[in-house]
Amino acid sequence: MQEQIRFVLSRPRMEKGPRKVLIIGASTGYGLATRIAAAFGARAETVGVFFERPADEDRTASAGWYNSAFFEEEAEKAGLRAWSLNGDAFSDPVKADTLALLRKTTGPVDLVIYSLAAPRRGMHTSVLRPIGHEYTNKTVNFQTGQVYETTVPPASEDEIAGTVAVMGGEDWQLWIEALLRAELLAPGAMTVAYSYIGSSVTAAIYREGTIGKAKEHLEATARSLDAKLLSLGGRAYVAVNKAVVTLASAAIPFVPLYIGILYQVMKDKGTHEGCIEQMDRLLRERLYRDGGSPVDDAGRIRLDEKELDPAIQKEVEARWKRVTTENLPQLVDLDGYRKELSRICGFDFPQVNYAADIDPNIAIPSLR
Ligand code: NAI
């Protein structure tokens, strides 16, 4: 968190940027980075919605809980207004509570970020599977460094429909319609949801798989929401982000090995980015740039151009073919991947004394 805040503060202050932002999925990964970029980069007021677990007697809280507590503390020190809401964003009560919170605090918002990554929504479950055929490819156990083949069975029709219901655009649409009805979208308000395309190496499991169907639905929803926001002078976009290590991406078959190779190749070329670099670019060079954001033929904002650079992809594909347990350390950013996965949960920081006794019960100030 400190590193991300420091990165944003090292950039010139955004002259144009969001003023009041609602972030749905604000506690980790891309949503958290967007919150940091909007608050510390543009001095925006932020309301963050997330689903995290506070500490109880014998368990620490989840990482996103501590992130959100720390975000609010740092925001307050910097004179930035911030509120949080912890609960299931897919549910009606949490939507209603968020509207009430906005009425009491920021009033109408001018940017709504939709950054949920979830395994289920109500009775629907999301699965990460190929469609139409089973799929076999290499994978890695990052704990042991072993590369081996694994096979993922194809999804059933119900599983495809379930994944679209969880990770597609339906819930995003419900949020935007509820905000519109409540007159909590300011004139010119924008909304952005995050998508992924990726490489030929991950196509069968990602873009052509169940999650790809959900992303297609999300992208179609952006087009219909865009039409709905026209009367407000607003816009709805999907932003296609780069593959990064997050709690969500770690759970996708084959993707961690792809990310490990990609990180090494992009670091070697000096084009590697994490969540915060991209979310800073999203605000500065896309959403709030004069003349509006550039988009691709399908109307999507693209932040994945460095990942999909043909020279990068060519090298990733070549390494993917060659990688084995033996040459893993040469071809894959094994340490980088492991370290990042630890660090998103607060581990692997040399300045932290992990043996020190601490009280894990930390409150999120606005939830007290
Ligand atoms: P993440 O796991 O780091 O963050 C997910 C967020 O959603 C957290 O704040 C979590 O608390 C919240 N959340 C989950 N279920 C919730 C619920 N029921 N109610 C309220 N909040 C809930 O995930 P990440 O990777 O940042 O993903 C965010 C979006 O970015 C997703 O749409 C993902 O597909 C997209 N994306 C991710 C990429 C990656 O490589 N990680 C690449 C491109 C897009």
> With contact defined as beta carbons under 8 Å apart, do 238 and 192 qualify?
yes
Q: How far is the CA of 248 from the centre of ligand 1 (A)?
A: 6
Which residue minimizes the CA distance to atom 26 of ligand 1? 29
Q: Is residue 133 part of a domain?
A: no
Whether 248 lines ligand 1, by a CB cut-off of 6 Å, is: yes
Q: How far is the CA of 31 from the centre of ligand 1 (A)?
A: 7
What distances in angstroms separate CA 43 from CA 4, 38, 80, 85, one per listed residue? 15, 6, 6, 20
pLDDT the model gives residue 247: 86
d(CA 252, CA 232): 38
Work out the widest C-alpha separation in the chain, in whole angstroms: 59
d(CA 7, CA 28): 17
In the structure encoding, which two tokens stand for residue 234, read together? 């607003």
- Which of 246, 254, 301, 304, when mutated, tests ligand 1's pocket best, judged by the most ligand atoms within 8 Å of its CB? 246
Whether 69 lines ligand 1, by a CB cut-off of 6 Å, is: no
In the structure encoding, which two tokens stand for residue 21, read together? 């932002």
- Which of 174, 194, 279, when mutated, tests ligand 1's pocket best, judged by the most ligand atoms within 8 Å of its CB? 194
Q: Is residue 19 part of a domain?
A: yes
Q: What is the DSSP letter of 332?
A: S
Q: Is residue 134 part of a domain?
A: no
Q: Is residue 288 part of a domain?
A: yes
Q: Is residue 278 part of a domain?
A: yes
Residue 336 exposed, middle or buried by CB count within 10 Å (0-12, 13-18, 19+): middle
d(CA 366, CA 80): 13
pLDDT the model gives residue 251: 87
Q: Is residue 161 part of a domain?
A: yes
pLDDT the model gives residue 288: 97
Strands 235-240 and 301-302: parallel
Domain interval for residue 235: 2-128+156-252+273-304
Q: How far is the CA of 299 from the centre of ligand 1 (A)?
A: 22
Whether 113 lines ligand 1, by a CB cut-off of 6 Å, is: no
Active site residue ranges: 206
Residue labelled with tokens 């297609």? 216
Q: What is the DSSP letter of 210?
A: H
Whether 31 lines ligand 1, by a CB cut-off of 6 Å, is: yes
How far does CA 342 lie from the centroid of its chain?
Answer: 17
Q: Is residue 54 part of a domain?
A: yes
Q: Is residue 334 part of a domain?
A: no
Q: Which atom of ligand 1 is nearest to the CA of 89?
A: 19
d(CA 36, CA 40): 6
Which CATH number do you get for residue 296?
3.40.50.720
Residue-wise DSSP of 162-200: HHHHHHSSHHHHHHHHHHHHTT-EEEEEEEEEEE----T
pLDDT digit string (tens) for the chain, length 368 residues: 999 999 999 999 898 999 999 999 999 999 999 999 999 999 999 999 999 999 998 899 999 999 999 999 999 999 999 999 999 999 999 999 999 999 999 999 999 999 999 999 999 999 999 999 999 999 999 889 999 999 999 999 999 999 999 999 999 999 999 999 999 999 999 999 999 999 999 999 999 999 999 999 999 999 999 999 999 999 999 999 999 999 889 889 999 999 999 999 999 999 999 999 999 999 999 999 999 999 999 999 999 999 999 999 999 999 999 999 999 999 999 899 999 999 999 999 999 999 999 899 999 999 98
Task: Pick the closest to residue 83 from 69, 96, 93 (CA basis).
Answer: 69
Question: What backbone phi and psi angles, to 5 degrees, belong to 230?
Answer: -55, -45
Count of domains for the chain: 1
Sequence letter at residue 119 = P
Q: How far is the CA of 196 from the centre of ligand 1 (A)?
A: 12
Q: How far is the CA of 359 from the centre of ligand 1 (A)?
A: 28
